Amino acid sequence: MEPKNNFNTRRSFLKNITWGATGLSLGSTVLQSCAEVNAQSDISSVAATLKGNIGTTVTRKNIATMSADDPELQLLKDAIGILRKRSADWPLDPAGWSENGALHTKFCATTEFSYQVHYSWYVWPWHRTYLWTLEKKLQHAVREPKLALHYWDWTKKPGIPEQYQGGDSNPLYNDTRRVNPDDIIPFDFMNMGPALRARKFSTFGGYPFYKDGSEPQIDGMAEQSFHNNIHNWIGGEMAGFVAAGYDPIFYGHHGNCDRFWQAWLDADPDHQNPTDEEFLEKVFYFTDEKGKPIEIKVKDVLDTEKLGYRFEDLNFNSPDGDYNSREDLIVPSYEMVKASSVYNTSIEEEQKVQMLTKTDGNEVTQVRLKFERAKLPYMPYCSRVFFLFGNTEPSADNCKYIGTFTILPIVSAEEGKLEKDVYMHVEITKGIAQKIQNKEAIKVFFEPVQVRGRNIPDEPLQIEEITFELLT
């Protein structure tokens, strides 16, 4: 038996909420909508589910702004509690919390490369579908089609929101997290500006997937930076692909990443999703609200309104502010620079000219650092990246902060182990492009970042043959 819902909470919720798509009040329309949902609950068809969403668009909100007694938040907790109880009664219940978490493990922690959705352009549509199917399970659990997932806007609340705290009595709590309740995310971990300014989806969201191993797998700027950084900062189950889907904060974090995808599309009319058939026709495998297997194509999840949800807003905390306005405050440990390895870079002369041309009318442009990872001290590896100019001692004048990145494991299509080649998207200013054009010696320094509960090893990241590649 599933636990009874909090009917007083639900009554208050139904009294106050309105249709997101039509502005109509509830009343008899709710009964009709619920009947439609129940009538189609035996049909494991994406088309039927999408059709059933018409007129029932829900709004996903920033969980950090919701009060502790908010009826929408309580309904979400009730629904998660039901999914948890299902798993407690039967761990293999496909509509339970444990099996939902296992879906993430299967497609994100796998060394079966044909299943892996990271390190390519599939990462964001797969995770959108993952959140959407969970939302359907939660709605079905409490028989309420207006229940909405949430997002955690860490640019406005750069710490674990109290809604995720409170101990085991809170269904949103997870005791594996390594951070303290009052810890603050370093501001450079959340730098979304470069990804927002990425001109192409490949730079922003990842490159095509080559399951035959003919080309390297390359993740996009959003995944490499704030997505990976915050996963690692939280620690515990969130710091690895194997168990991240079991922590409820995963859905707040990825809800914000999903929101950022929409913000990127809205930021510039030239920002477009891929139109390649290989992208649009890709099939994902999930389970519906009753745990029945379903197949969903990428082309079916590119419009959140058609999926039945929208975001409360797309306003982040100045992700598109002046480049390096605060990053200038980030300087490396000069003693560490002297004691550690720095790496010479190479770039073709033609690329130098193109790079300066690209930045001539723009303050910034994106380039790609390519290097061979000879040895990685530990995983995940979080580091701040600096360019060092000239052959003088490192100082504030010749050390320029480029970005903060977390490197996660990459599986090989053929060998099933860590890939040696690493591709890192970075944004450079017009001034840096000019230095490169002037043939100033340029080196790269990786400074490991200390996060709570994990030690930085004495040995540095060892890499070889680092090169620049201008992104077209």
Tens of pLDDT along the chain (472 residues)? 444 444 344 444 444 443 333 222 222 222 233 333 333 333 334 444 544 454 589 999 999 999 989 999 999 999 999 999 999 999 999 999 999 999 999 998 877 777 889 889 999 999 999 999 999 999 999 999 999 999 999 999 999 999 999 999 999 999 999 999 999 999 999 999 999 999 999 999 999 987 776 777 889 999 999 999 999 999 999 988 889 999 999 999 999 999 999 999 999 999 999 999 999 999 999 999 999 999 999 999 999 999 999 999 999 986 555 545 566 778 887 777 766 667 777 666 666 666 667 766 677 888 888 887 666 666 778 889 998 887 777 777 788 899 999 876 554 444 434 456 788 899 988 888 888 777 788 888 888 888 888 777 666 677 777 888 877 6
**Domain ranges for the chain:** 7-311, 327-470
Is 247 in contact with 237 (CB distance < 8 Å)? yes
Alpha carbon of residue 78 to chain centroid: 26
Q: Which residues have a Cβ under 8 Å from the Cβ of 366 and sit 6 or more positions away? A: 194, 197, 198, 199, 203, 221, 425, 426, 427, 428, 471
Cα 416 to chain centroid, rounded: 24
The answer to whether 302 touches 275, Cβ cutoff 8 Å, is: no
Per DSSP, the three-state class of 411 is strand
Distances (CA, A) of 117 to 208, 248, 383: 11, 20, 24
For residue 22, the model assigns a pLDDT of 27
CB 362 within 8 A of CB 416: no
Q: Residue 71 in contact with residue 320, Cβ under 8 Å?
A: no
- Burial (CB count <10 Å: 0-12, 13-18, 19+), residue 32: exposed
Pairing of strands 283-287, 293-297: antiparallel
Maximum Cα–Cα distance across the chain = 76
- CB distance 65 to 71 below 8 Å: no
Q: How far is it, in rounded angstroms, from Cα 24 to Cα 28? A: 11
Taking the C-alpha atoms of residue 72 and residue 82, their distance in angstroms, rounded to an integer, is 15
220, 202 Cβ separation under 8 angstroms: yes
HSE-CB for 360 with a 13 A CA cutoff? 8
Euclidean distance between CA atoms 49 and 354, whole angstroms: 49
- The third-level CATH classification (topology) of the domain covering 7-311 is di-copper center containing domain from catechol oxidase (1.10.1280)
pTM (two decimals): 0.85
CA–CA separation, 11 and 16 (whole Å):
9
